[in-house]
Amino acid sequence: MVSARLKSLERLPDPVRSDYLRIVERTIEEVSTRWSSVLSVPVLWLTLGADGTDIRVERVDLDGLYRENGYAEHFDHWVESAVRQRMGTGRCAALASHDRMGGPWPYPTGALLPGLPDGHVHLRAVHRDDPGGFADAFAVRSRPLRRKRFAPEVYEQLAQARAYPGAAG
């Protein structure tokens, strides 16, 4: 069964759906291949240029992000506008983050306080041809001295989303 949020991409035109799915796939690839804290998911910007050929990935400067946009506690209120601003003249942009981004301890060191590793990668994406944007959370598993691994159902859901009638990519 495809997640409701991935399934909601069916309503979009093929190029928009394809761009969002490329962003999701690249997020999975980047998080899976990057070394990070045992407890935290790396926070990343993903930007698809205007020509749609390449996705640029950069680590997020959390201090700069909060300084430019607002308090961490209000993250859910300003995150979409921050991603839209990041998109600039590009076609699509996204912010991949961890479970604590909207909480009082958004930094990786905050994970030490509750002592629990991140359980999800949160993705918030916008597209120049979609006023609604896209947001979803993907289950991830953490183990000491290992890279993050996504739950098998994440790959299944992505494959099903790619198989939608008319899904280009």
Q: For 115-158, how does the pLDDT look when each residue is reduced to its tens digit (9 = 90+)?
A: 556 678 899 999 999 998 999 988 887 766 566 778 888 888 88
Look over the chain and give the mean of its residue pLDDT values, rounded to a whole number. 80
Measured distance CA(137)–CA(122) in Å, rounded: 4
Residue 83 DSSP symbol: H
State the first-to-last Cα distance of the chain, in angstroms, to the nearest integer.
20
**Which one, of 76, 102, 86, lies nearest residue 45 by Cα?**
86
Q: Where are the domains of the chain?
A: 4-104+116-162
Backbone angles phi, psi at 128, to 5 degrees: -65, -20
pLDDT at 46: 95
pLDDT at 104: 53
Question: Who wins on pLDDT, 122 or 163?
Answer: 122
pLDDT at 39: 62
**Which one, of 17, 16, 87, lies nearest residue 56 by Cα?**
87
pLDDT at 90: 92
